[in-house]
Structure 1
Amino acid sequence: MWKGMKYLPIWGLLFLLGIPVSGFGQQTEIPEKAADTTQMDTLVIRAEQLPIKIIPRGVSLTNPRISFNKTKPLTKRQKRFRVPSFWEVINEFDLQLSEVAFVNWNAGGDNAISALGKLLFERNYKFRYFQWDNSMEMRFGWNAQEGRQWRKTDDAIRLASTLGYRRDTISNWYFSAKANFNTQFANGYKYPDRTTPISRFMAPGYLFLGGGISYIREDNSFNLYLSPLTFKGTFVLDQNLANQGAFGVQPAVLDAAGNVIVPGEKLYTELGILITNKWEFPIAENINYDHNLALYTDYLNNFGNIDIDWQMRLKFQVNEFISATLIAHIIYDDDILFDREEAADGTLIDPGVPRIQLRQQLGIGVTYRF
């Protein structure tokens, strides 16, 4: 009997004990309670980390701690963080030196020293449809030899600006406008004569203004510019050279005694076709080749005669600062005449003839970018 008691309902048990059970079926009212305002929060339970009693063979346990015993100094200066920009900035200084000295040298020779300095500044902008390239290059070189005055070996001021626009971002063809300006710093002489300059600052000075199309690779390693309409202005601001008709300007009008009646003009203008090309590519590791070519022909005067300005350069990079450079520069301009002859009274005997100009240079020096 008691074995089955666990299956007897509670109301049955109360009936056997004589307790009334009529109230169990009535519905009672549940008293209202205040709203629960208890705030629940996250409870983090961390298990206690027990020390390892059994360490497997080959396992080495170390306590983590900060140590600077293996810290090495920086080999290069750490670059400061800069906000990304669409401008590319290049500042470069290059200095090349060569020297020779003799003491009791049986074969003979004169002590000499040569130097060539170059400053290059570039500010290039590129974003989606627009590309704007600007550069300024200044070069000056001289040679000093025992027993004679120093002589100039290189002299140039070159400014260039090219603005391009393309219709979409996948094309390498741009509608372009270009402006170039070239001149020099100091007087140029036909050595050993140092009394009569054959060129000076802004004598000549060349200005090119024009528009056309350009093909420019994304990495700027190749740039081809074609302009069917370009203005070329040749400035000769030295009146003596202008009177001689140097660099193509209209010469002065002289009387029978050689006196100037009408002074020579200081500006010679042309309108023609300009083609330029810049190309840069690596030949081998640490050996790069680049060239800068400009071809120009005038519509109005002697069309088909082409002026050439072509500079080629091989650069051998030894390390970050030391480099060797081999340069070949070719110029042909039919407005630059050589072997001009004048009589004692100033009468022109032979105006001269144009010739190919060639400059070759090899130097080892220091290059620093800042």
Structure 2
Amino acid sequence: MKNLFTFCFFLFIISQTFGQDIDSLNIDSKKDTTYWDSEFSAGLNFNQAAFSGNWKAGGVNSVAFGSIVSGKANYAKGKLSWDNQLELIYGIVKNEGQQLRKSNDRIFFDSKVGYKAGKNWSYFGSINFLTQFTDGFEFGPDDQRTLISGFLSPAFLTSGIGMEYKPNKDFALRIAPFSPRFTFVTDPTIIQNVPSNYGVPEGQTVRTEWLALQLFATYNKDITDNLSIRSRYQMFANYETLAFRTIDHRLDVTLIAKITRFVDVTFTSINVYDLDMDPGIQYSQALALGILYKVNNKK
């Protein structure tokens, strides 16, 4: 925990420095919001299937529910910028004869302060956080379940200091040669079912990786008025254990196709390679039809 306190103090010093720069611009947020680009969206989707007892084609009665809440608040004036993003996703499915299961679960927050260094380059300092809402289980024979994850088990708090390349409004690449990361596993029983304990040493709740490189790329584009893509790629490499197989990769992709003003089809895909979790590539995908409400401050 001493390392965590040191890191938090380090971030406090950075925030105070940038805060003084913002104050020097004499910004009155109550009077002038033209430098802010904000957006909020919330979506719900529901799927249901039912079959009669003599339905010869086969099938399982099921009910599924999904939700997504996302928002951003980005500030830019002169050479200074401050970008914030929040993403909350949760879904459940209930098949007849089986226990309630999750279909999706994610909490993600990212905040970045930048300062222009040239036409397409900026200095930046960032922090992002990733975890899940509820317990995750592995299901076996007779629907027996084994706890393998939970809220803050694991959780990842990753920082970064470096340069950002942003040639246009759609694409951005952060290169952070100094990128400390904290991995949390607050449930001590997880190690009984996940021997790697997500990289956290046995008997501890936090693993600290001070010397690391992070690449963080985003591509967000409205392809047409009714079709948009939101993608995020993150690479994390610990200098102390650096090898091709120990580099972590994560790719999130969301495609949204609007059918009407409030009805849309959403495809989400998550792809993860992390040796501390599993030696193979993990992936999940979901396709849903539902209601999406979206507001922003653009005129």
User: Shorter chain as normaliser: what TM range?
Assistant: 0.7 to 0.9
1:267 maps to 206
Alpha-carbon offset, residue 285 of structure 1: 5.3
1:30-67 Cα offsets, whole Å, 9 max, x none, are: xxxxxxxxxxxxxxxxxxxxxxxxxxxxxxxxxxxxxx
Alpha-carbon offset, residue 128 of structure 1: 1.1
> Secondary structure of 2:177's partner?
strand
Distance, in Å, in 2 between the alignment partners of 1:287 and 1:159 is 24
Alpha-carbon offset, residue 198 of structure 1: 0.4
**Native 8 Å contact 1:242 1:266 kept in 2:** no
**Native 8 Å contact 1:162 1:176 kept in 2:** yes
What is the aligned-residue identity percentage?
29
Pair 1:176 & 2:127 matched: no
Q: What does residue range 165-244 of structure 1 map to in structure 2 within 5 Å?
A: 165-167=115-117, 171-192=119-140, 195-217=145-167, 220-242=169-191, 244=195
Distance, in Å, in 2 between the alignment partners of 1:83 and 1:172 is 26
2:200 maps to 249
1:152 maps to 102
Alpha-carbon offset, residue 204 of structure 1: 0.3
> Secondary structure of 1:300's partner?
helix
Distance, in Å, in 1 between the alignment partners of 2:125 and 2:47 is 41
Q: Which runs of 5+ in 1 are unaligned?
A: 1-81, 252-263, 338-353
1:222-254 Cα offsets, whole Å, 9 max, x none, are: 111111110011111111225744101222xxx
**Native 8 Å contact 1:242 1:265 kept in 2:** no
1:355 maps to 280
Q: Which runs of 5+ in 2 are unaligned?
A: 1-30
Pair 1:125 & 2:50 matched: no
Alpha-carbon offset, residue 286 of structure 1: 2.2
Pair 1:309 & 2:250 matched: yes
Distance, in Å, in 2 between the alignment partners of 1:84 and 1:336 is 43
> Secondary structure of 2:240's partner?
coil
TM-score using structure 2 length? 0.80
Alpha-carbon offset, residue 106 of structure 1: 2.6
* Larger fraction in helix: 2
**Native 8 Å contact 2:196 2:276 kept in 1:** no
**Native 8 Å contact 2:271 2:282 kept in 1:** yes
Q: Residue type of the partner of 1:86? A: Y
Q: Residue type of the partner of 1:297? A: A
> Secondary structure of 1:97's partner?
strand
TM-score using structure 1 length? 0.66
> Secondary structure of 1:142's partner?
strand
* Larger fraction in strand: 2
> Secondary structure of 1:132's partner?
strand
Distance, in Å, in 2 between the alignment partners of 1:83 and 1:178 is 25
Q: What does residue range 1-370 of structure 1 map to in structure 2 within 5 Å?
A: 84-103=33-52, 104-167=54-117, 171-192=119-140, 195-217=145-167, 220-242=169-191, 244-251=195-202, 264-270=203-209, 271-284=211-224, 286-304=226-244, 305-337=246-278, 354-370=279-295
Q: Residue type of the partner of 1:182? A: L
Q: Closer, same or farther in 2 for the Cα pair 1:229/1:303, shift >3 Å?
A: farther
**Native 8 Å contact 1:242 1:250 kept in 2:** no
> Secondary structure of 1:189's partner?
strand
Q: CA RMSD in A?
A: 2.0
User: Which stretch has the larger CA shift, 235-244 or 201-210?
Assistant: 235-244
Q: Residue type of the partner of 1:277? A: A
> Secondary structure of 1:190's partner?
strand
> Secondary structure of 1:198's partner?
strand
Distance, in Å, in 2 between the alignment partners of 1:356 and 1:93 is 30
Distance, in Å, in 1 between the alignment partners of 2:117 and 2:123 is 9
Alpha-carbon offset, residue 165 of structure 1: 0.4
2:26 maps to none
Alpha-carbon offset, residue 310 of structure 1: 0.4
> Between Structure 1 and Structure 2, how many residues are aligned?
258
**Native 8 Å contact 2:139 2:145 kept in 1:** no
Q: Residue type of the partner of 1:265? A: Q
Distance, in Å, in 1 between the alignment partners of 2:63 and 2:114 is 44
**Native 8 Å contact 2:157 2:181 kept in 1:** yes
**Native 8 Å contact 2:139 2:146 kept in 1:** no
Q: Residue type of the partner of 2:128? A: N
Distance, in Å, in 2 between the alignment partners of 1:286 and 1:369 is 13
Structure whose alpha-carbon radius of gyration is higher = 1
